[in-house]
Chain A
């Protein structure tokens, strides 16, 4: 970094109509940074706060939360009716919406929402015997929220077991038990895997 009172003047220019900033001499690192800047700028304008700065992380704009929970509810309903592929579609929409939250909103909230939705989608995939998709969804769900996500741990373990990847399933469930040692389902799943391996 340069000393506090100097800086490197970069060859930038701005399109007066679109307000997009570009570099006159292209260079990939600078270009990707400028792309991030432009998209942040658009998001800030879209947020439409009167000061033009992002609002403080809390309280959260309630509209999006309401939409997400509505989509999740209808997904759950479809799942209960047995329309699993429809449920997957609704969950996917909800996940996209949760991931599309403005980036200055609390990341903990995004984690919570996305983890729950991914876990539900994993279940809907498992109900259709799409073990591969189920395994990936459950893995992502656990990545978002490791603690108190026993369902996510169990679902990936189950999917791996169903695909016959016993070694991976065993490691996964062991790891899950480190977080959720008392979870009955996980303990059972572990016993099941060990039985299969023993045969």
Chain B
């Protein structure tokens, strides 16, 4: 029989207590640490704003009376998929830049954590959309993102075209005004010449420069209304020009 009375229980308690305290303190530390980091991660601002399309889809799905018809749910799911595509594009575009910044130490660890969380969430979200789509129609999950990405691009190009075409009226107005201005300037100059205010030599230089900047642009329109063609500005000396103009102004 093992001699129990030979063991010094008191002295044995010391290493046991040591082990107990060590393991206990490590455990408390790790649990507190994990709780804190979890709380911190949860309190971090989310990368993306609220996912309205997802909320709409799920709200419609949970609608009780009347039940939401499938066709609306499918449309809502498509909207949700398009929004997911903008998000995943944003994530992919940001990733490289963010990694580089993180390595240089230009951005904090917080930002990186927020980013990683967003990445995980969006992956989860994509899987969810695919499984929902497959639940509606078998194999729809394979094409839903294709359709959604076309929808997104289509809406973008329509927006851009409409933006550009919307400037048409303003441009037209500007041009009408400008044309009228040029026309009156032109007529006034002709009148002044007719009255003989300018000497033939200065006249030549002035009409020359004006012709350069303006005649080309308004030649057609002004010529149409004045009744002569505008070729005169290109050839001939000052004297010839002024005589021609005088003749023309009499019309």
Q: How far is the CA of A16 from the CA of B66 in the complex (A)?
A: 7
Q: Which of B121, B209, B213 contacts A1 (CB 8 A)?
A: B121
Q: How far is the CA of A143 from the CA of B162 in the complex (A)?
A: 11
In the complex, identify which listed stretch (A70-78, A79-87, A102-110, A173-181) lies at the interface while the others stay far away. A102-110
| Contacts A7-B54, A110-B154, A140-B161; A56 near B147 (Cβ below 8 A) | yes
Residues of chain A within 8 A (CB-CB) of B156 are 107
Q: Which of A33, A114, A131 contacts B79 (CB 8 A)?
A: A33
Residues of chain A within 8 A (CB-CB) of B216 are 161-162, 164, 196
In the complex, identify which listed stretch (B15-23, B104-112, B171-179, B243-251) lies at the interface while the others stay far away. B171-179
Q: Cβ of A66 < 8 Å from any Cβ of B?
A: no
Q: Write the chain A residue with the least CB distance to B69.
A: A19
Q: How far is the CA of A33 from the CA of B163 in the complex (A)?
A: 20
Minimum Cβ distance to chain B for residue A3 (Å): 7
Q: Cβ of A148 < 8 Å from any Cβ of B?
A: no
Q: Which of B128, B157, B221 contacts A110 (CB 8 A)?
A: B157
Cβ-defined contact, B52 with A2, below 8 A: no
Minimum Cβ distance to chain B for residue A167 (Å): 12
| Contacts A99-B158, A163-B175; A41 near B150 (Cβ below 8 A) | no
Cβ-defined contact, B52 with A30, below 8 A: yes
Minimum Cβ distance to chain B for residue A77 (Å): 24
Cβ-defined contact, B71 with A8, below 8 A: no
Minimum Cβ distance to chain B for residue A187 (Å): 19
Minimum Cβ distance to chain A for residue B38 (Å): 12
Residues of chain B within 8 A (CB-CB) of A140 are 161, 164-165
Cβ-defined contact, B172 with A37, below 8 A: no
1/0 per residue B114-128: CB within 8 Å of A? Answer: 000010010011001
Q: Write the chain A residue with the least CB distance to B178.
A: A163
Q: How far is the CA of A100 from the CA of B34 in the complex (A)?
A: 55
27 A-B pairs whose Cβ atoms sit less than 8 Å apart in the complex: A1-B50, A7-B55, A8-B55, A9-B55, A9-B62, A10-B55, A12-B63, A16-B66, A34-B56, A37-B75, A37-B76, A41-B75, A44-B78, A51-B137, A51-B140, A52-B71, A52-B137, A53-B74, A53-B147, A101-B154, A107-B153, A130-B172, A132-B172, A144-B157, A162-B217, A164-B214, A196-B216
